[in-house]
Amino acid sequence: MVETNFAVYDTEDIRRKDRDHIIHPWTDFSTFKEEGSEIFAESEGIYVYNSDGDRFIDGIGGLWCVNVGYGRDEIAQAMADQARRICYYSTFTHITTPPAAEFAHRLCGYAPDDINHLFYGTGGSMSNDTAIRIIHFYFNRLGKPKKKHIISRVDGYHGSTYMAMSLTGVAFDHVGFDIVTDIVHHIPAPNPYRRPEGMTVEDFCDEKVKDLEDKILEIGPENVAAFIAEPIMGAGGVVVPPHGYHARTREVCSEYEVLYISDEVVTGFGRVGHIFASEPVFDLRPDFIVTAKGITSGYVPLSATMIGDQVYDVISVPQAEGALFTHGFTYSGHPVSCAAGLANLDIIEREDICGHVREIGPYFEERLTELLELPVVGDVRGKCFMMCVENVADRETKELFAPEIKIGERISKHCQQRGLIVRPIGHLNVMSPPLILTREQIDTFVDILRESIVTTQDDLVREGLWKG
């Protein structure tokens, strides 16, 4: 960590300025104006420090993104060097910079064989939007302008630009806002924990695959452009689909000329042990892979929409004279971001971060699974360093606590008091730590979480909110 004297931070002053001027993503205005923000000011490895100097294990990697951990001089140096060489140049109309070209080359080397092109953005939402714009353009170019509809899934999360939020299927996120409904459809989530009583996982998988086919037939295959899915649903509850789901939904898509977008914004860059999870983990060869977050381990914004040859070959055919591919952002392929991406990839390769995750991730899963001994824990699920605990009021019926009990938030608060950050999402607690977590750190992590859940259970009984 850089030499720090926490006295330089005036916590109250920062909090006041923040509260007076910043509108935060997902602000809860029922509490924000009273409580203000938590201030994280310093970091090192798997730890973040608040402005008073208290240390926390960052159990959520910033927001599923600080994959190689905090305080990496190598990334900071690469960014500084690049900013001195050439801080910025646009990549519009045939201009590039050395790091933008080199990073694209290295990323495509990790994608499935037939994905050899990418379009840079600065965030996952933007790169999902890019995928949709390109897909519409592709079908227009093919002379199939009716093919515009997109199928997504309930509880899928794809971002919060207008189109990305429309693709998102988390009902809570739509409350009070508008979304696009004429060309976006949601089919049920393949969540095995919530499958009908008595149904096998195999039958459930058949049903979820059929949901996709039924929806395509209902809309009419001639109108359906794409299916979008995260390999493992993240914000919607860390849902790992049944074995074979992705490969089979891919087959359905191929049958009806529907393109497959694999949203790997969270699963990419080692989180489940591979740079991209689609093919090695799920036997899925999508037409698009969307990636962001871990692409720079969060050191600076960057994202990429990776595009298969079939689509590229159509969109890159010369158009009417003078017509351009009119899509792009000022910061597409920003050289400082790409330099950070290259340094991040160097670290992932040199330290064999993916190998570490494949080796130690199952231990994290195993230790967390022990929490099923606790009466409030209904399910522990996920893969490697993408995990979640589902808390329920009744394990037999899987009944949830009333939302106002804020079970996830209570547990997270107890964790934070003990030096661990886990993310509450409704009744869930979600975990996505830096990928450098060691076995010993996993033990500390799980011990704190267990103690926090037990304390929460005791609180609920004491407050008369739960029988135990």
Ligand X SMILES: Cc1ncc(COP(=O)(O)O)c(C=O)c1O
- Binding-residue pattern over the window 287 to 306 for ligand X, x denoting contact by CB under 6 A: -----x--------------
The residue whose Cβ lies closest to ligand X is 124
How do strand 184-187 and strand 40-44 relate by DSSP bridges?
unpaired
| SS3 per-residue string spanning 59-108 | CCHHHHCCCCCECCHHHHHHHHHHHHHHCCCCCCCCCCCHHHHHHHHHHH
* Contact string (CB under 6 A) for ligand X, positions 244-283, x = contact: -------------------x-xx-----------------
Residue of 45, 59, 69, 124 interacting with ligand X (CB under 6 A): 124
Q: Do residues 261 and 294 touch, judged by C-beta distance below 8 A? A: no
Name the minimum Å distance from CB 234 to ligand X.
4
d(CA 261, CA 230): 8
| Shortest Cβ 124–ligand X spacing (Å) | 2
Q: How far apart, in whole angstroms, are the C-alpha atoms of residue 116 and residue 306? A: 8
Nearer to ligand X, 131 or 371 (CB): 131
**Residue 135 CB, nearest approach to ligand X (Å):** 16
Q: What is the spatial distance between Cα 88 and Cα 73, in angstroms, rounded to a whole number?
A: 21
The window from 34-42, 119-127, 210-218, 239-247 that contacts ligand X (CB under 6 A) reads 119-127
**Identity of the residue, 213 or 263, whose beta carbon is nearer to ligand X in the bound complex:** 263
Using the minimum distance from each CB to ligand X, give the nearer residue, 231 or 308.
Answer: 231
Identity of residue 422? V
Per-residue string for binding with ligand X, 227-246, x by CB under 6 A? ---x---xx-----------
- Write each residue from 133 to 172 as x if it is in contact with ligand X (CB under 6 A), else as -, in one continuous string: ------------------------xxx-------------
Residues 6 or more apart whose Cβ sits within 8 Å of residue 458: none
- Let me know: does 374 contact 468? Beta carbons within 8 Å: no
Between 303 and 391, whose beta carbon lies closer to ligand X? 303
Q: How far is the CB of 305 from ligand X (least distance, A)?
A: 11
Task: Provide the minimum distance between the beta carbon of 63 and ligand X in the complex, in angstroms, as a whole number.
Answer: 6
123 vs 434 by CB, closer to ligand X: 123
Q: Which region among 121-129, 130-138, 359-367, 413-421 touches ligand X (by CB under 6 A)?
A: 121-129
C-alpha separations of 309 from 34, 119, 166, 394 in Å: 53, 13, 27, 50
Residue 361 CA to residue 468 CA, distance in Å, equals 31
- Cα–Cα distance measured from residue 39 to residue 35, given in angstroms and rounded to the nearest whole number: 12
Name the nearest CA neighbour of 344 among 2, 74, 64: 74
Question: Least distance in Å: CB of 266 to ligand X?
Answer: 5
Minimum CB–partner distance for residue 468 and ligand X (Å)? 35
Could you tell me the maximum CA-CA distance found in the chain, to the nearest angstrom?
74
Q: How many CB atoms lie within 10 A of CB 382?
A: 25
293: left (phi over 0), alpha (psi -120 to 50) or beta: left
DSSP letters spanning 394-448:
BTTTTBPPPGGG-HHHHHHHHHHHTTEE-EEETTEEEE---TT--HHHHHHHHHH
Measured in whole angstroms, the distance separating CA 3 from the mean position of its chain's CA atoms is: 32
- Interface with ligand X in residues 74-113 (CB under 6 A): none
- Shortest spacing between CB 15 and ligand X, in angstroms: 24
> Cβ of residue 370: shortest distance to ligand X, in angstroms?
27
192-211 binders of ligand X (CB under 6 A): none
Give min distance, CB of 367 to ligand X, in A: 24
Compute the residue count for the chain: 468
210, HSE (Cβ side, Cα atoms, 13 Å): 6
Give which of 228, 137, 146, 236 is closest to 182, Cα–Cα. 146
By beta-carbon proximity to ligand X, the closer residue of 157 and 466 is: 157
Binding mask of the shown chain, residues 371 to 390, with x at each position contacting ligand X by CB under 6 A: --------------------
**Cβ closer to ligand X: 306 or 393?**
306
Out of 125, 130, 337, 412, which residue is the one contacting ligand X (CB under 6 A)? Answer: 125
Min dist CB 5 to ligand X, Å, is 33
| Contact characters 8-47, ligand X, x per CB under 6 A | ----------------------------------------
Residues in contact with ligand X, counted by CB under 6 A, come to a total of 14
Report the nearest approach of ligand X to the CB of residue 77 (Å): 25
Interface ranges with ligand X (CB under 6 A)? 123-125, 128, 157-159, 230, 234-235, 263, 265-266, 292
